[in-house]
Structure 1
């Protein structure tokens, strides 16, 4: 317990940061308690009412409340411990913010665990990390039974673009035989190394056209049926018109019979 208090005191003395309010400071501390890590920010004073608190990791919102306290805490996710955190005391006209950096080995995450590409086209595989310290080295490998194959800007139809928080592997002119498989992205910082795996699946160009060809086939069949039905109905219509024209009017026949009867009388 005494050791934990010394750790808190040490971080508090080292991590005091000035807020945006005049005459106010935010002190920060990091306390490791077993598998848990608790971050604390304390505002020494405030001339305006505190409307709440906000915790961020990078540009991602972690927690927000509407409590008026001068102290706020956040418990770090142990699976993604390291990173650059910030606490903000919400007040008018502007809030006061302090940063809390938690050191640790990187946590690498693939943006998508599985990608589907089309033969002959391009695909981009992406991995990210919000760890602290930042990633100093990224590396890509094609995972093979015979041994992982290093991928870089000298690899055929592949090139890599990386920053501290993100790496992208571009694969152009996808080959249906050579390119499908598992790809590993590695990230290294001063605290350690981590990796994640992305599975790439490919479809042939013809496979991608099947839905379109199916629609075209249905339209052709429908038009053919309509044309056949119309062709079958036309002879009956013509025959009906000819029969109607050759038959004498019924009214004319009645008049002829009446005239013959009068002449006989």
Structure 2
């Protein structure tokens, strides 16, 4: 009897050891999952930039072993009530992936969240900004210059105006280059600082202007500024006037020369009539 007890004691100890190891591992994994969920719930929202007109994809990678429903929200509004994306979004992978197909809008930006049980994850979705300017801008010397920077991508970022003179060189701050004649204003689009105003343009203002909203130069609009002489429009008019005067003088001289032979012939005929 004592021998059987002695043999069973090591086995019992081994079973108790294995049970303790399994329990400890399970607790560790559960703690790790809980920490990850807590970090996701309390962490900062991830910034996601998208190009307007292209797609958006968000993946809710929260632990979901029991296959709970994934709740998606935009600006604290449930997905079912998104009037601005209704009919354009779809949920994939059992609701864990939110997809907005191509042809996204500017107003698709916002704060997106997904929730599984008590855990959640957040994204700050913003349009990748880019700006547009006309390729060429012409202004007459002495007139007021107003340039509107067209910005695509909400929320609208801060606008920085840069200037490069016609001889080349590095881009510099446009307000400093045109000071004290320049100022910034809100554009017609509603972008603060999106309009550049320069009073009484000068010939030396000619160069290149850039409306920067993105550190990537590809996404920034640029225009070539040409300042015309204030009398430039007068020279063609004076040229036309000179041509008209010359033409009138030629016609007048021609008419006088043609009228003189006719007058001489008339006098000769009158003299011959008196003789007869």
TM-score by length of 2: 0.53
Match of 1:123 in 2: 145
Match of 2:107 in 1: 84
Unaligned runs of 5+ residues in structure 1 are 20-24, 40-73, 86-100, 254-265
Q: Is the 8 A contact 2:58 2:99 kept in 1?
A: no
Equivalents in 1 of 2:73, 2:89: separation in Å?
A: 5
Which of 167, 174, 184 aligns to 2:201? It is 174
Q: How far does the alpha carbon of each residue in 1:79-115 deviate from its partner, in whole angstroms, 9 at most, with x for none?
A: xx66126xxxxxxxxxxxxxxx9622212111x1211
Which of 251, 257, 276 aligns to 1:226? It is 251
Change (3 A) 1:171 1:218: same
Deviation (angstroms), 1:220: 1.0
Higher RCO structure (Cα 8 Å, ≥6 apart): 2
Higher strand share: 1
The range that moved more, 149-158 or 196-205, is 149-158
Match of 2:174 in 1: 151
Equivalents in 2 of 1:27, 1:127: separation in Å?
A: 32
1:185 equivalenced with 2:247 (yes/no): no
CA-based RMSD: 4.1
Unaligned runs of 5+ residues in structure 2 are 1-56, 62-69, 93-97, 109-123
Q: Is the 8 A contact 1:130 1:165 kept in 2?
A: no
SS of equivalent residue, structure 1 residue 247: helix
Equivalents in 1 of 2:90, 2:150: separation in Å?
A: 25
Q: Is the 8 A contact 1:104 1:131 kept in 2?
A: yes
TM-score by length of 1: 0.55
Higher helix share: 2
Equivalents in 2 of 1:30, 1:202: separation in Å?
A: 52
Q: Is the 8 A contact 1:142 1:150 kept in 2?
A: yes
Alignment of 1:35-74 (within 5 A): 39=100
1:205 equivalenced with 2:230 (yes/no): yes
SS of equivalent residue, structure 1 residue 233: helix
Q: Is the 8 A contact 2:147 2:196 kept in 1?
A: yes
Q: Is the 8 A contact 1:141 1:183 kept in 2?
A: yes
Deviation (angstroms), 1:242: 1.1
Q: Is the 8 A contact 1:141 1:148 kept in 2?
A: yes
